[in-house]
Structure 1
Amino acid sequence: MILVNGQPAHTLPVEDRGLQYGDGLFETLRIHHGSPVCWERHRTRLSAGCRRLGIPLPGPDLLDAEISRVCAGVDAGVLKLILTRGPGPRGYAPPKGAQPTRILQVAPAPRHPDAWSREGVAVRLCTTRLARNPRLAEIKHLNRLEQVLARSEWDDEVQEGIMRDTEGQVVEGVMSNLFLVCGDGLRTPDLQHCGVAGITRARVMELADRRGIPCRVGAISEADLWRADGLFLTNTLIGIWPVSCLAGKTRPVPPLVGHLREALGLTEGGCRA
C-alpha cells in the first residue's frame, strides 16, 4: 500500500520539492505484527530533521493514524515514511507557507540468510566519499546520491560497503552504522560532519552504557579498522551484522557482538520493541 497525503496514490506533482531538489526527509521502519517497531525513536529523529530543514512536522495524531492504516494486517514488512517540503514554484528558495507532502509506503520484509547475523558478512571499502556538511549531519535527508554511487561500486558477494568522508575518516556503511570492538569496549565514528545517526546505533550505545561497556565516539581512520578486534554493522532492518571479511581479508567475530545481539533481542535480525 502507498498513501500520499492520506490517499492511495502512486504519483506526485512534478512541482514537489522532494522530486525537484531532494528537499525532505525519510524514515525506514520495520513492521512487526502490524505495528511499526521503534516508532517513537524514529519520530524523534524525524522531528529533529524537520527542525533542521525548517519543514513543518505533521501532527502526531495524523501520522499515527496513517501509519496504523498502512501497517494493519502486515505481519512482517518495511514502512518507508517520506516527508517533503511539498509543491513549490521554480527556484531553490523555500516557499512560505509550505504544505508538506506525506508518503507512506509498505514493502515486504527483506530476506537475509541467518548466517549473516550469526557468522558475519563480507564488506568492502568504497571509493565514493561523503561530503562534510554539519548542517545535514545525523538527519535522514532525501539526498542519497553518495550512497547510490557507493552502492554501484560492487555487484558480487559483498553485502555492504564502508564509506569515508572527504578527509579520509571512516563514517558509516552505505546503509548502516559501524562499530569497532576494541578489547572489552566499543568505538563508533563521530557523525558531527556527515552520516546518519541510526536508531539501532543509539540502542547499542544505550545498552553499552547500562552494562558498563565503554563506548567511545570519535574520529576513526582506515588503519583503526584493521587494528580493531572486530567490526559490526547496525541498522533497523538488519539489526546487527558482524563483519567476517573486510576488503577480502578475514576478520574475527568477537563474542561481544553476539552478546549485544541477544541483549537487544536481535537474534532473528531487525529492531525489536
Structure 2
Amino acid sequence: MTQVWINQQPSQTVSPFDRGLAYGDGLFATMRTYPKSAQQSGIMFLDLHLARLAQGCERLDIKWAASVTLLAHLSELAEQYPNSCIKLLLTRGVGGRGYQAPENAHVTEITSVHEIPIHYQTWQNQGVALATSSITLAQQPLLAGIKHLNRLEQVLIKSQPLPDGYNDWLVYDTQANVIEASMANIFVVKSRQVFTPAINQAGISGVMREAVIEVLLSIGIDVRIQRLSQRDIVDADSIMMSNSLFGIIDVIKVDKTSYQPWVHTIAVAQKLQTTLS
C-alpha cells in the first residue's frame, strides 16, 4: 500500500546529495488518520505534530514552516486513506559533501502512506510484554526530545531478537535512567501517582505522550515528569506505553515482573479516540 510523494509530487527518488540521506539531517513525524467511522476526519493531533516538527527545525536551524500546499496535501491524504499511517519526513535538502550546511538549502518534504500494523489492535486488547534492551541510549541534550533522522541507536535495538513472548524493548540511557520503549513513551503508576521519564538528555518527546498527559490532567490525575530507575519499574503498580498509532496500551510484563492493567487505560484511550477496531 505504501505510496510516496516528494514535495507533494508522486515520486520515490531523492537526490543522492540530500542531507537527510548523507547525514540524517532532518526530522520526521508518524501520524494516524481518523477512521471513516469517527466523528471527525483528518490527521489526529496534526497541530501537535506540526508544532513539534517546527520546534525541531528551530533547534536544528532548518528554515521550515508548514505551507498551505503541504497542509492541503496532508488533508487530501487523510481523506483518501482513513485509519492509516502518514509519515512526514523533512530534510534540510540538497547540500555539498561536507558537514557544513549550505546557506540557501531548500527543505525536502517526503510524505508516505502505510497501513497500521494489524497486531496493534491485539496489543490494545491484551497488553504487551517488554524485555530490557542491553543497548542503551547516549545522552545528548541538544538532540533529546526531537524526532530527528539519526536513529541508528533504535536500529541497533530493533536488530536484537526479542525473547519468546515479548513484544518490544524497554530502553535505558547510559546513566541507567529509564527512557522509553523502542517505539513508544513510557508511563509508570505507583500509589495512584503517574510518572513519565524525563527526556531532556535522551529519548523522544512523543506527540501522544503530550496528548496523554493533557487527558490525564483534564480528569484530575497528576503527572510527574522525572528521572526513573529500574527500581521504579520493578516497584510499579501499572505501566503503560504510548505512541501516535496505537494510542495508550498497558504493559503487562517487564522482564520477569508482571503488572496489572491500569484502571484508567481504556477511558484515556476512548478520550483520545485511538481505539482500533
- Does TM, scored on the shorter chain, surpass 0.5? yes
Q: Whole-Å Cα distance in 2 between the matches of residues 60 and 39 of structure 1?
A: 14
Q: Is the 8 A contact 1:70 1:104 kept in 2?
A: no
The aligned residue for residue 165 of structure 1 is 173
Using a 3 Å threshold, how does the CA distance of structure 1 residues 64 and 204 change in structure 2: closer, same or farther?
Answer: same
Residue 262 of structure 1 and its aligned partner are, at CA, apart by 3.0
Residue 267 of structure 1 and its aligned partner are, at CA, apart by 3.4
Residue 70 of structure 1 and its aligned partner are, at CA, apart by 3.1
Q: Is the 8 A contact 2:50 2:66 kept in 1?
A: no
Q: Whole-Å Cα distance in 2 between the matches of residues 142 and 29 of structure 1?
A: 16
Q: Is the 8 A contact 1:16 1:88 kept in 2?
A: yes
Percent sequence identity is: 35
**How well do the aligned residues superpose, as a CA RMSD in angstroms?**
1.6
The aligned residue for residue 28 of structure 1 is 30
Q: Is the 8 A contact 2:8 2:70 kept in 1?
A: no
Using a 3 Å threshold, how does the CA distance of structure 1 residues 131 and 35 change in structure 2: closer, same or farther?
Answer: same
Q: One-letter code of the match for 1:85?
A: R
Using a 3 Å threshold, how does the CA distance of structure 1 residues 233 and 59 change in structure 2: closer, same or farther?
Answer: closer
Report the secondary structure of 1:52's partner residue. helix
Match among 169, 192, 196 for residue 188 of structure 1: 196
The aligned residue for residue 110 of structure 1 is 117
Give unmatched runs, 5+ long, in structure 2. Answer: none
Give unmatched runs, 5+ long, in structure 1. Answer: none
Residue 218 of structure 1 and its aligned partner are, at CA, apart by 0.4
The aligned residue for residue 10 of structure 1 is 12
Residue 28 of structure 1 and its aligned partner are, at CA, apart by 0.5
Map residues 231-250 of structure 1 onto 2, 5 A cutoff.
231-250=239-258
Q: Whole-Å Cα distance in 2 between the matches of residues 113 and 60 of structure 1?
A: 32
Map residues 195-234 of structure 1 onto 2, 5 A cutoff.
195-234=203-242
Q: Is the 8 A contact 1:119 1:253 kept in 2?
A: no
Residue 115 of structure 1 and its aligned partner are, at CA, apart by 4.0
Q: Whole-Å Cα distance in 2 between the matches of residues 182 and 246 of structure 1?
A: 15
Q: Whole-Å Cα distance in 2 between the matches of residues 132 and 243 of structure 1?
A: 25
Q: Whole-Å Cα distance in 2 between the matches of residues 169 and 123 of structure 1?
A: 16
Q: Whole-Å Cα distance in 2 between the matches of residues 24 and 131 of structure 1?
A: 19
Report the secondary structure of 2:80's partner residue. coil
The aligned residue for residue 63 of structure 2 is 56
Q: One-letter code of the match for 2:275?
A: T
**Length-normalised TM-score, structure 2:** 0.92
**Is 1:80–2:87 an aligned residue pair?**
yes
Show CA shifts across 1:211-248 (max 9, x none).
22121110000111010101000001011110111114
